[in-house]
Structure 1
Amino acid sequence: MISIPVALGARSYDVLIEDGALDSAADHLDPWLHGPAVVVTDEHVAARQLPRLAASLDIRPVILPAGEGTKSWSGLENLLDQLLTLGLERGDHVIALGGGVIGDLVGFAASILKRGCNFIQIPTSLLAQVDSSVGGKTAINTVAGKNLVGSFHQPSFVLIDPTVLDTLPPRELRAGYAEVVKYGLIDDFAFFEWCEANAAALLAGDSAARAEAIGRSIAAKAAIVAADERETLDRRALLNLGHTFGHALEAETGFSDRLLHGEAVAAGIALAFAFSAERGLCAGQEATRVAAHLAAAGLPTTLAAAGVSASGAALVAHMAHDKKMSGGRLPFLLARGIGRTYVDKTVDLADVAAFLDRAV
């Protein structure tokens, strides 16, 4: 068992990581539950994991369609109507059992239901376990772009059971790995080296490697969130490595299963390092090393591999809707080397468009 605190004063909470935690959920969640627990999940997770949770907890399930399309205005309205029908009160806790889509949607619904109620995260994908379940960012997607409507709303508790990854489709597991290696690339070269040595074992199901990756990723994110909860400083922005490019790729592919979020982030990371190398910020060998590692993990590292053939201008047009845009400038996460990521607010989008045209 590993317990990692997210220190946010009155909004502090713990992240508990334990094999088999889903089967003993009642013991872990007792402080927050009073009566049957409202559990929101999707059709895929319901089939694989809901019976395990139901064997431990008295639950009232809300089962939503699987996929990024659920994280939408209509999906939010549907969820809110169901929660209100169930009589959820402001002091109750709704449980998000699922990956990043369910966690983001449930967190946002909880933040606005009756002007704010509580929620608990039980992430079931690697991506959610190492990243999206912690930090309080909640949102839905809109026609204009990804995560443009949302709120900061911290969970009361995060319960992580690595054994649920045993039933995760290999493609989703690989996609989640992009968010693991990200932490090494931001500011922890030693962790990137660990990833190079252990990625194959992690993806093959090695429980020790998974526990190590999840624990180190959560500890890194908890420290960043504690220092910059609402991204008012540049510190939390570092967690967006690969996301500016990646979100544009997701928008171009319609936020669909054509390109999973983690796959888009992987391609975005490779593009960010290639762009950094082209600008003379880091050595070309380092950009090549990063791309080679991501490719070895089965992740896309080019526009073509991501299934994107759009022009640089079209991709930059998606970036123009980014919520971080300020004064006509978009901050980019670039790198001076592996483990040396920084925020650059001087990038001209015309230069990015030209780079993307060359990168095709």
Structure 2
Amino acid sequence: MTESRPQDVRRASVRVALAATGAVALVYLVIALSVLLIVTSNLTRQVDDRLMSALAAMNQPNGGDGGANGGPPEGPHDRPLGPPVLIWLVEPNGTVLTSVGAALPADAQGVTSPTTIAINGTSVRVAGADRTQGHLVVGQDLTDVNSTRATLLVAELIIGPILLIAVFLGAVAIGRRVATPIEVARKRQLDFSADASHELRTPLSVIEAHTTLALAEPREAGWYRDAFERVSNESKRMRRMLDDLLWLSRFDATQAQPNTDPVDLGILAEQAVDRFRPIAEARNQHLELEAGAGLAVNAPPEWLDRLLGVLLDNACKYSPEGGVISAAVVPDTGRVVLRVDDSGHIDGPPNGGARMAVSWPKGRLGA
């Protein structure tokens, strides 16, 4: 069950990343379509403005040649480098005069407002106005507009997948980075609960056994006194355990006061190890310490001394004879870590060692 938790974290981060990527994809689709429509609308409006300007210019007395030679009027030369303005003149008798080699469809010969038609498979934007010679229709090829729109669409199709892949990978990385400390804290909480349950099970079993025997049949007063003494001892042991657990939980939840002076954790650990070394030697245990110099933390020294006492006391009590207990105070990326390891708990699982680690932000010792 525990081994599957990292896989659960990875699956959860992937699901969150997929949801985030889907949301970004939806927003990107809306933005991409909006940009495409806005650009197309703006380019088409520019074409319409040019067509209306051409009609207005050719309706002036001196606009174009007026068809003086029996041909269609010439368009204005306002954009010599742009697409040419196509001109058709529909005479009253239905004859269509044009200077381009493209016939005007019959359904567009009476057009007035700008509209898009197809001529020989090409999209053309046309507009018209009445003149004395007949109905004048002007148009412009929309190839440039369509080309710009196609280029923009291709760019969006290329950028979209790249953006979504980047969002997915970033979301997965962030999700795992955020979930990993939570999973570590959850595992520590489970380990803490398991250790507490294991430590409390022994005195509870003793108390339960004595109460069961006491209720099973009448016994002598001396037996009851011995049983009550054992129950009292086990109750006191449970009380000490619960006090230690309560203190550890409060210590873990309490933040150091901002005005607390830095304390050299290595020196405190050395003093605590010296106090518990005779206890360890009496049980033929080897107690060792690894502590760097100048590793200061901002925490009340009495808290740290109590914490070291609780950890070393438990390690000495519940490690087997001949076991190894190691304490270490080491730096770790801007923090100071206090770690206590032992070679295994009595009545614990096979090869089951105990390990307790606490860390604080680094402090600075005064001169």
Question: What range is the shorter-chain TM-score in?
Answer: under 0.3
**TM-score using structure 1 length:** 0.18
The structure having more radius of gyration, on CA atoms, is 2
Return the TM-score normalized by structure 2.
0.18
